[in-house]
Structure 1
């Protein structure tokens, strides 16, 4: 049985509790039998996956590979995944680069099938993917109880990847806008509507940058790798998420109607 994270509270208070117990909880989760079996198999067999077809043809390997990038829901989309992997990321016209969700590009780049050859035989490769898989799986387990805490946990690594993707500020924002979990955190923390995605992409960029400057004093995403600014972002995200949830309860709606009468 997989270890279930202990989350006695939600919101920002719950986040602070989770941070204090995180190392112990992650260690217990990683030692659970299902996680141990999955990672042991991956480490022993991933070098055999010399092609994209090999990887998608081994469900146990694929489960860890996809889980490491938060793409577990695609486990049965073998033809699609093979095309993503074989196209790689070096060609701007490749499928991975065309998809708005940048997790696919990260997935294709990590395995390297379409970028000069498989990286699966490298000595450091199994541990790199396993580390990501453990972190993502723990976040998923947290998300099954509280998805907002899952998004907060995902933030640090996602911001680091965004900052590393390019040094161009606008390009970093475009990368964020294509990363659904990361975008959700920023939209909520900045008080932007979820319907923003329906407008022109350049107008979305302007909205994100102007609100970020107003709320955090910077429009540079690379500045959010700073721990203090990152914690403020998480606090705003969780507080505003709770406010949105409270506003949607029957009691809150009834109070709102009475206040207008």
Structure 2
């Protein structure tokens, strides 16, 4: 017997109110999250909770994920990280390391297979898991708690509405939870950080993460003058392997729910002057239009 499930995560603003969810069928699902977290934390925690709740099952487990970051972390990178004391090849600490360690423990002795599916493409289980993760993030954004769901039979944990919450490490500057007492970023600061995230290979290599940042009616006029649709961009985007920094030229509030960001992308290959229009869509900032022109 094989249990077939989908797992997904969501973060409004990334980071921001975050949720996770996994789905087997209408009678077997779960969700949770945090007031502040990242999309990757949600994706990983959805898989972790599924593993923990099926720990006493003798069945094999097939997990559909739309995050290559999650699949590669578990199936490719984790053994090497573990051998190196949970550090990456460049010596830097592994991100989300406490969740990674918990996943490593939960996978011991298990027969688990992961398959990638394209997000927002009509895959029934993935769509349900995405709905649960988004609903959980939205619940936290309004000061509530998500429906934890029925879980996997008797294995339902009493605290599952909150998911897996790593213990804060205040000495680590990149520890997300150490910033909880700091002032909330402004809308302009959020938009700049979201734009900056689209330059990273971690986000560009995860179609679901990119899709979450692009408005449904997104369009772009590229450096060559080509007009790109959202679907074309999601099919073509991927890691570049080129470090690119963002230099803000101006940030203009068009109206309450619209911000125009003019910025310069700087890399060893070229400098490109860019402009991006960001709209607040159902509580989330999403890029609506983008244009770039190479500088001489």
TM over 0.5: no
- When the two structures are superposed, what TM-score results if normalisation uses the length of structure 2? 0.30
- When the two structures are superposed, what TM-score results if normalisation uses the length of structure 1? 0.33
Of Structure 1 and Structure 2, the greater helix share is in: 1
Of Structure 1 and Structure 2, the greater strand share is in: 2
